[in-house]
Amino acid sequence: MDIHSLKENTRHGTVTFPLALYKWHGGSDWKVPLHWHDETEFIYLKKGAFTAWLNTKELHVVAPAIMCIHAGELHSLTLSADSDESAIVFHLNILSFEHYDSIQAKLIRPLMDGRLRMPFLINHAEPVFPDIKNCYESMEQKMEEMSSCGAENEIIKTTAYLQIKSLLFHMLSILYKNEYLLSKKSIPAQNEHQIENLKKVLSYIKENYSSPIRIEELASLINLNAQYFCRYFKENIGKTATEYINEIRIEKAAEALIETNKKIITIAQDTGFDNIGYFIRRFKKEKGVTPSEYRKNIPSSNTD
């Protein structure tokens, strides 16, 4: 699958096999906007330099490295044209035991309720990185086997899924043995109220990007005045609210250019741009090409 479809409201996998693999092989710069989901996500940064954003912290990462995003965490990723990465998204409850034992008590349940965390970043210099990378690459291979199977190959798919779950447990055992799992009390405290406020604002933007959005509307969502809200948003998101709104609109426009045959002027209007000239300028600033050039070139170079 193409990482363009990695959205907060996407079903990752199926009811029977609730996990999904997403890939990015470069071709152009790309921004995955701030979002969150109820699943855990492993991101393997294979080649290139990346800018990651976790909750309210910005981080610059040089590949190779593996990131772990926990359920409910705000995160985004900026990918360059020469980068290469993939992501596995799954719900931690696939590791839960029906029969309660010491592993469920010490590891699985604490991971599921947030009392225990995997490290956000494991870079190539970490002693555990080779083993974690091998686990990830094996999971990636098994997920590709699953996606290539037809409905009639249920035994092959189920076998691969069982192997993936085994690899997830092996990854946890490596982290546990080397004391890489963090208890909540050892993690620097974050302002949960602040993060929930940001989620409220970002959700509103994602739901209303096609309509005019006033700063006053956003500020009122979290009971701030407009002037203070602008500073608050910039300090925590790293860009102004207007910049973020335009970024979301451009990403939605880019999706429409790939997935539909709508006219460019219609896409501009559908994504909240009343002025076609301004839309084209903003799009080129974000993507480096005009909307028509993007539609012509991107699908063939960025899809698997």
Residues 237 and 248 sit within 8 Å (Cβ to Cβ) = no
The closest alpha carbon to 112, from 131, 93, 86, belongs to 93
Residue 281: what are its φ and ψ, rounded to 5°? -65, -45
Which of the listed ranges 26-30, 76-80, 191-195 does the model predict with the highest average pLDDT?
A: 76-80
The predicted structure's pLDDT at residue 190: 56
Question: What is residue 133's three-state secondary structure?
Answer: helix
Q: Which residues pair with 84 in a beta bridge?
A: 47
pLDDT at 188 over 60: no
| pLDDT, tens digit (0-9, with 9 covering 90-100), for 53-95 | 888 888 899 999 999 999 888 998 988 888 999 999 999 989 9
Tell me how far the alpha carbon of residue 33 is from its chain's centroid. 8
Helices 154-177 and 129-148 meet at what angle, rounded to 10?
170
- Domain annotation for the chain: domains and CATH numbers: 3-186 (2.60.120.10), 192-302 (1.10.10.60)
Residues 258 and 267 sit within 8 Å (Cβ to Cβ) = no
Q: Which residues pair with 80 in a beta bridge?
A: none
The predicted structure's pLDDT at residue 298: 57
Mean pLDDT of the chain: 86
**Amino acid making up residue 274:** D
| CA angle, residues 167, 129, 125, in degrees to nearest 5 | 175
The predicted structure's pLDDT at residue 214: 94
The predicted structure's pLDDT at residue 189: 54
The closest alpha carbon to 200, from 12, 74, 113, 112, belongs to 74
The predicted structure's pLDDT at residue 143: 93
| pLDDT, tens digit (0-9, with 9 covering 90-100), for 105-159 | 889 989 988 889 999 999 999 999 999 999 999 999 999 998 887 766 888 889 9
Q: Measured between alpha carbons, how far is 258 from 274 in angstroms, rounded to an integer?
A: 21
Tell me how far the alpha carbon of residue 243 is from its chain's centroid. 19
| pLDDT, tens digit (0-9, with 9 covering 90-100), for 266-294 | 999 999 999 999 999 999 988 888 999 98
Residue 286: what are its φ and ψ, rounded to 5°? -75, -40
Q: Measured between alpha carbons, how far is 65 from 25 in angstroms, rounded to an integer?
A: 16
Instruction: Lowest mean pLDDT of 122-131, 177-186, 229-238, 287-296, name the range.
Output: 177-186
pLDDT at 1 over 60: no
Q: What DSSP designation does 89 have?
A: E
Confidence label for 301 from pLDDT (cuts 50, 70 and 90)? very low
Which position has the higher pLDDT, 25 or 226?
Answer: 226
Residue 273: what are its φ and ψ, rounded to 5°? -105, 115
Q: Give pTM, 2 decimals.
A: 0.73
The predicted structure's pLDDT at residue 36: 86
The closest alpha carbon to 53, from 197, 242, 195, 238, belongs to 238
Share of the chain above pLDDT 90, in %: 53
Q: Measured between alpha carbons, how far is 53 from 33 in angstroms, rounded to an integer?
A: 10
| pLDDT, tens digit (0-9, with 9 covering 90-100), for 31-60 | 888 888 889 999 999 999 999 988 888 889
Which position has the higher pLDDT, 1 or 48?
Answer: 48
**H helices of 149-240, where?**
154-177, 192-208, 215-221, 226-237
